[in-house]
């Protein structure tokens, strides 16, 4: 996922906020493309020079607080508060981002207090995504310079303030652990004591940053700041918002995609104890109760008539046939180098195959929920969201009120994975709350959450290659067929019919391929809504490219690691990662019967990963993942322990999908309902890990998604190694069962 999301949302959905629109104009020109998303070149408005108090609109000007930019507040007690431009959904940014700030500010990161930022693209948008969005493994990449700069600017103000007080040269003053020292005279002043003087100083535009060799915080496994409250129940997620006199709502949405509500008989429900009200919105009904249980029982007592619309007979097979049919026509060209067609004709050996990847639900542990109060003074929203400004803008649009009248209170997120990049749940809750007096908490049941998710699209890929006499690929043609999430989310990002997310990795494989042709055919799955899912384009692209290269290695009768290494010379960091993973694993050692070992490599999100996975396939055809060896080059590492955690978690998230998960549709409705039939990996099924972080001085890469993106093909290739069967359709499910 890339910046395009921003322009798209702004232009398509949001009308109410002039400052944001101005800001987004900058986002209109894409200046550079890198693997893992396009990067925009714009300045950080939050750090533009000027009077200090213009940068944070909630700040009480000059009143005992030093706030030279939107991210920092220091009070006269020396307490440092960081206002978080990104949201915490488990990926560790509530620690790694404060580390960036603390490094330059010269404070102990463990003492930094954190606040969720209010919605404000101008202050908290970033240069990669162009708005206040958390996603695409961009947080560290986007905030790496701005937050270090923010910390350095603040530190320089404190140094200047101390030097002025002492009437000494600034160069004789040092900042350490929240104190400015003047060694020569033995004097010192805490940051709190300098707040008043420092807050009156002009803010420098730019301050020199530390040489990485002097880092004291960055590169350490600093303890997480968000976890102490996660072991005792005190951490607050959106679902835990409990405004005074809150009511509770449970909803039923049209079971058939595209269906509409005809009528509701609520006479029985309204007689039930604790049921307060029944509310209709678009394609859903909500029962409001004094608690969730009353609302849930009330919902069960409703007699609802749906107009099921035109999709009542739709099944997954129809949607796959749509893709298959469309795959026979040429698509929009995403990459053309050399002449793949003529090279194919001249090839010594050829291979043409199809890959399919299913619809997937996000199934975040925290089900969709949103608490809203609509009153005379505007609207309050309590929700954990990856897109606070878009959610705020859509609420304003829904209510027809100015965006300033919508107060959005963000929370910790109990799993995002892309689901909370969408505002459907917020808009729905606002429409419900508009009809209810006082605050109302809308919680989706797990069944609603799974059946009315916005799904990772079904993808159908045709891919073919020709090998020369030595087995090297001289021709490579790849057609990707599926939904364009970008076309809905960020239309301007789609150029000449090519969705950059849908073809990511596929259009830019890491291998030397002299004749390369990649095209994309957009086919929407009728009424089924689609959305980003952890690992986005690289998850689906890597599965196909890395499965297929493995097939070519087998066709060429070359070891799969050696085959890749020979073709990776243009991507040396990936080649290095693969060499390390191979040397740390048992690659090349013989396997017992029923055992398999598979490899895959991935370059996206600015990071480079190689993965080798060991599995056991039992006689019943069930796969047990034994061990995952991974070598990671994600550039300069901010918090190594967080990187390890993201690889472990990202892999396990990916394993659930590759082994078990698919959303299927029958009679126009989702067949799966809950964790009993949408199976998630459990502790007894999880592999052991051996992860190797490669030291690097390169710019930091993203790490929230690469593990998920890399594991699929490694596992499928291990299945081939164990059984001789190629997995060309996910999930593996019961394909290996006799």
Partner 1 sequence: MATLNINGTPHQVDAPDDMPLLWVIRDIIGLTGTKFGCGIAQCGACTVHIDGQAARSCVLPISAIGDKKITTIEAVGETSAGKSIQKAWLDLEVMQCGYCQSGQIMSACALLGQHPHPNDEQIDTAMAGNICRCGTYPRIRAAIKIAAKEGA
Reading the block at residue 270, the tokens are: 């309204």
- The 612-651 site mask, x for binding partner 1 (CB under 8 A), equals -----------------------------x---x--xxxx
Rounded to a whole number of angstroms, the minimum distance from the CB of residue 406 to partner 1 is: 24
Minimum distance from residue 98 beta carbon to partner 1 (Å) = 15
**Which of 320, 680 has the CB closer to partner 1?**
680
Among 25, 176, 230, 336, binds partner 1 (CB under 8 A): 230
Least distance from partner 1 to the Cβ atom of residue 94, Å: 11
In angstroms, what CA-CA distances link 7 with 23, 31, 42, 233, 513? 10, 14, 14, 38, 33
Closest approach of partner 1 to the CB of residue 164, in Å: 42
| Residue 158 backbone dihedrals phi, psi, to 5 degrees | -70, -40
| 220 is a site residue for partner 1 (CB under 8 A) | no
- Tell me: cis bond preceding 731? Omega within 30 of 0 counts: yes
545 binds partner 1 (CB under 8 A): no
Q: Which structure tokens are listed for 448?
A: 């609603």
Binding mask 78-117 for partner 1 (x = CB under 8 A): ----------xxxxx-------------------------
How far apart are CB 92 and partner 1 at their closest, in Å?
Answer: 7
Which residue stretch of 330-338, 362-370, 387-395, 554-562 sits at the interface with partner 1 (rule: CB under 8 A)?
Answer: 362-370
Q: At what angle do helices 139-166 and 93-105 cross, to 10 degrees?
A: 30
Q: Which residue lies nearer to partner 1 by CB, 523 or 703?
A: 703
Q: In terms of CB distance, is 367 or 473 closer to partner 1?
A: 367
Among 363, 528, 613, 722, binds partner 1 (CB under 8 A): 363
Q: Is 414 in the site for partner 1 (CB under 8 A)?
A: yes
Phi, psi of 76 (to 5 degrees): -70, -10
Give the distance from CA 258 to its chain's centroid.
Answer: 27
Contacts (CB under 8 A) with partner 1, residues 431-460:
443, 445-446
Residue closer to partner 1 by CB (options 148, 247) is: 247
- What SS3 string covers 66-112? ECCCCCEEEECCCCEEEEECCCCCCCCHHHHHHHHHHHHHCCCHHHC
* Strands of 187-190's sheet in order across: 173-176, 179-182, 187-190
Question: Pairing between strand 65-66 and 173-176?
Answer: unpaired
Q: Which is nearer to partner 1, 496 or 684 (CB)?
A: 684
Task: Please tell me whether residue 548 adopts helix, strand or coil conformation.
Answer: helix
* Smaller CB separation from partner 1, 233 or 619: 233
The residue within the footprint of partner 1, chosen from 124, 458, 587, 653 (CB under 8 A), is: 653
Query: Of 28-36, 202-210, 406-414, 468-476, which segment contacts partner 1 by CB under 8 A?
Result: 406-414
Is 539 a residue that touches partner 1 (CB under 8 A)? no
Give whichever of 230 and 305 is closer to partner 1, judged by the CB atom: 230
Question: DSSP label at 436?
Answer: S
CB nearer partner 1, residue 684 or residue 737: 684
Residues 216, 268, 291, 328: which binds partner 1 (CB under 8 A)? 291
Shortest Å distance, C-beta 86 to partner 1 = 14
How far is it, in rounded angstroms, from Cα 143 to Cα 702?
11
Residue 240 dihedral angles phi and psi, to the nearest 5°: -95, 0
Scanning the structure block, which residue is given the tokens 């009437």? 167
- Examine residue 5 and tell whether it contacts partner 1 (CB under 8 A): no
CA-nearest of 582, 617, 618 to 599 is: 582
363 vs 486 by CB, closer to partner 1: 363
Asked if 519 touches partner 1 (CB under 8 A), the answer is no
Q: Is 198 in the site for partner 1 (CB under 8 A)?
A: no
Give the integer Cα–Cα distance in Å for 662 and 734.
Answer: 12
Contacts of partner 1 in 668-687 (CB under 8 A) = 674-676, 680-684, 686-687
Q: Of 681, 702, 728, nearest to 606 (Cα)? A: 702
Paired with 473 in beta bridges are 467
Distances from the Cα of 205 to the Cαs of 44, 142, 199, 538, 562, in angstroms?
A: 11, 19, 15, 37, 51
Determine the 3-state secondary structure of 226 from DSSP.
Answer: coil
Q: Is residue 365 within the footprint of partner 1 (CB under 8 A)?
A: yes
Subset of 264-283 contacting partner 1 (CB under 8 A) = 273-274
> Considering the complex, what minimum distance in angstroms separates the CB of residue 605 from partner 1?
18
Binder of partner 1 out of 103, 356, 366, 550 (CB under 8 A): 366
**Dist CA 676 CA 37 (whole Å):** 36
Return d(Cα 238, Cα 441) in angstroms, integer: 10
Q: How many residues form the binding site for partner 1 (CB under 8 A)?
A: 62
- The one-character DSSP state at 360 is B
- Residue from 26, 166, 215, 689 binding partner 1 (CB under 8 A): 689
The answer to the question of residue 361 lying near partner 1 (CB under 8 A) is: no
Shorter beta-carbon distance to partner 1: residue 49 or 227: 227
Residue with Cβ nearer partner 1 (76 or 221): 221
For 180-198, letters b (16+ CB in 10 Å) and e give bbbeeeeeebbbbbbbebb
Cβ–Cβ < 8 Å for 292, 275: no
Q: How far is the CB of 646 from partner 1 (least distance, A)?
A: 8
Phi, psi at 542, each rounded to 5°: -65, -35
What span, in angstroms and rounded, lies between the C-alpha atoms of 670 and 660?
Answer: 16
Minimum distance from residue 232 beta carbon to partner 1 (Å): 6
Please give the span between the terminal C-alpha atoms of the chain, in angstroms, as a whole number. Answer: 39
Q: How far is CA 417 from CA 89, 100, 129, 361, in A?
A: 9, 24, 17, 10
* Stretch of 305-313, 319-327, 409-417, 594-602 lying at the interface with partner 1 (CB under 8 A): 409-417
Three-state SS at 641:
helix
Q: Please say which residue, 32 or 231, places its beta carbon nearer to partner 1.
A: 231
| In the complex, least distance from residue 248 CB atom to partner 1, rounded to whole angstroms | 6
- Binding site residues, partner 1, CB under 8 A: 88-92, 221, 223-224, 226-228, 230-237, 239-240, 242, 248, 273-274, 291-293, 363-367, 412-417, 443, 445-446, 641, 645, 648-653, 674-676, 680-684, 686-689
């Amino acid at each position: 996922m890339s910046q395009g999301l921003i322009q798209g949302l702004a232009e398509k959905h949001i009308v109410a906020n002039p400052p944001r629109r101005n800001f987004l104009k900058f986002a209109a020109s894409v200046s550079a493309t890198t693997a893992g998303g396009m990067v925009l070149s714009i300045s950080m408005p939050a750090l533009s020079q000027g009077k200090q108090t213009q940068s944070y609109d909630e700040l009480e000007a000059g009143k005992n607080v030093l706030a030279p930019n939107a991210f920092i507040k220091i009070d006269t007690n020396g307490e440092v508060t960081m206002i978080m431009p990104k949201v915490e959904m488990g990926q560790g940014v509530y620690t790694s981002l404060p580390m960036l700030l603390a490094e330059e500010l010269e404070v102990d990161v463990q003492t930094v207090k954190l606040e969720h930022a209010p919605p404000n693209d101008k202050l908290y948008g970033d240069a990669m995504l162009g708005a206040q969005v958390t996603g695409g493994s961009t947080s560290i990449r986007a905030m790496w310079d701005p937050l270090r700069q923010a910390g350095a600017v603040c530190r320089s103000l404190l140094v200047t303030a101390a030097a002025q007080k002492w009437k000494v040269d600034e160069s004789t003053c040092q900042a350490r652990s929240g104190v400015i020292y003047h060694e020569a005279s033995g004097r010192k002043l805490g940051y709190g004591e300098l707040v008043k003087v420092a807050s009156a100083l002009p803010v420098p535009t730019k301050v020199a940053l530390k040489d990485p060799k002097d880092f004291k915080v960055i590169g350490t496994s600093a303890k997480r700041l968000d976890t102490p409250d996660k072991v005792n129940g005190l951490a607050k997620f959106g679902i835990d918002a409990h405004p005074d006199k809150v009511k509770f709502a449970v909803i039923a949405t049209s079971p058939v995609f595209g269906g509409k509500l005809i009528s509701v008989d609520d006479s029985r429900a309204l007689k039930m104890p604790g049921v307060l009200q029944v509310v209709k919105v678009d394609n859903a009904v909500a029962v409001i109760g004094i608690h969730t249980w009353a609302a849930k029982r009330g919902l069960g007592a409703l007699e609802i008539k749906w107009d099921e619309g035109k999709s009542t007979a739709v099944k997954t097979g129809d949607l796959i046939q749509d893709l298959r049919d469309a795959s026979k026509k040429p698509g929009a060209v995403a990459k053309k180098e050399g002449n793949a067609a003529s090279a194919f004709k001249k090839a010594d050996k050829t291979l043409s195959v199809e890959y399919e990847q299913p619809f997937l639900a996000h199934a975040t542990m925290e089900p969709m929920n949103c608490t809203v109060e609509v009153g005379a003074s505007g609207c309050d929203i309590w929700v954990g969201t990856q897109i606070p400004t878009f959610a705020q803008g859509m609420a304003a649009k829904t209510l027809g009120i100015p965006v300033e009248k919508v107060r959005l209170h963000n929370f910790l997120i109990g799993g995002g994975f892309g689901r909370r990049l969408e505002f459907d749940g917020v808009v729905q809750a606002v429409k419900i709350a508009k009809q209810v007096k006082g605050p109302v908490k809308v919680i989706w049941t797990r069944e609603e959450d799974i059946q009315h998710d916005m799904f990772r699209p079904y993808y159908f890929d045709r891919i073919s290659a020709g090998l020369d006499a030595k087995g090297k690929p001289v021709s490579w043609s790849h057609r990707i067929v599926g939904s364009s999430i970008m076309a809905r989310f960020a239309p301007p990002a789609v150029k000449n019919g090519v969705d950059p997310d849908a073809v990511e990795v596929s259009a830019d494989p890491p291998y030397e391929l002299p004749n390369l042709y990649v095209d994309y055919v957009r086919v929407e799955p009728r009424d089924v809504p689609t959305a980003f899912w952890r690992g986005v384009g690289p998850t689906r692209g890597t599965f196909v490219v890395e499965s297929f290269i493995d097939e070519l290695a087998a066709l060429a009768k070359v070891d799969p690691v050696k085959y890749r290494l020979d073709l990776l010379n243009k991507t040396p960091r990936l080649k290095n990662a693969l060499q390390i993973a191979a040397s740390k694993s048992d690659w090349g050692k013989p396997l017992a019967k029923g055992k398999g070992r598979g490899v895959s490599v991935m370059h996206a999100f600015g990071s480079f990963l190689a993965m080798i996975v060991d599995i056991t396939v039992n006689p019943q055809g069930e796969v047990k993942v034994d061990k995952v060896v991974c070598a990671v080059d994600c550039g300069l590492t901010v918090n190594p322990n967080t990187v390890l955690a993201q690889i472990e978690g990202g892999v396990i998230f990916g394993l659930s999908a590759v082994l078990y998960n698919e959303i299927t549709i029958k009679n126009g409705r989702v067949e799966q309902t809950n964790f009993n039939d949408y199976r998630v990996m459990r502790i007894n099924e999880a592999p052991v890990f051996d992860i190797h972080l490669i030291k690097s001085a390169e710019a930091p890469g993203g790490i929230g998604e690469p593990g998920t993106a890399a594991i699929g093909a490694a596992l499928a290739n291990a299945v081939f190694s164990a059984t001789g069967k190629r997995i060309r359709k996910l999930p593996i499910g019961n394909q290996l069962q006799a």
